A and B are shown apart, each in its own frame.
Chain A
Amino acid sequence: AQSVTQLGSHVSVSEGALVLLRCNYSSSVPPYLFWYVQYPNQGLQLLLKYTTGATLVKGINGFEAEFKKSETSFHLTKPSAHMSDAAEYFCAVSAAAGSARQLTFGSGTQLTVLP
């Protein structure tokens, strides 16, 4: 079984400030981890993913996330927020193997960027 906890349903940062969105997961098998972004009235877009290998993963739009197995975390960061980053962000986990490999999503974090 898998689960994802996103701490903070709403996060506000000033333009140019560090963005940190927190995600902790629970998985009984080696996980694949994902961050998706959803802009208003749009579907989900993959920001980045961790499967195997390097634990620091770089994604699109300057975002990155680090897989920390000991902390069961996969926090999303961006050094400098831009107004266009305002959106909802979802962390997700799936099993690394097996035919099912269903995505389990966190509850989402709404990011607001203040001018």
Chain B
Amino acid sequence: GAGVSQSPSNKVTEKGKDVELRCDPISGHTALYWYRQSLGQGLEFLIYFQGNSAPDKSGLPSDRFSAERTGGSVSTLTIQRTQQEDSAVYLCASRGRQGPRVVTEAFFGQGTRLTVV
């Protein structure tokens, strides 16, 4: 597609359930990011995939959070045993590459609004 696509756009889940959020980056973009944004707050970095390198997981808030990126394209963010504090908008972004460096701006998907009840 032309832009970053995320699904679902909205997800309501019960506390304790697992959820999977999907991100389809822009074709050819090697870098993919997941961020979390709570209401009225800034973007909290979660995880970063760059090509075939090991992902930077330094932003994941707990071991209930995991993400994978298959075939260097689609990414899935999984939250296990969801808690109410996990409620937020989860944003995915991708960046293109010129030569060995990631230099272009990040393009965002519209996000998944997760509500844990």
Question: A and B, one complex?
Answer: no
Give chain B's interface residues, CB within 8 Å of chain A: none
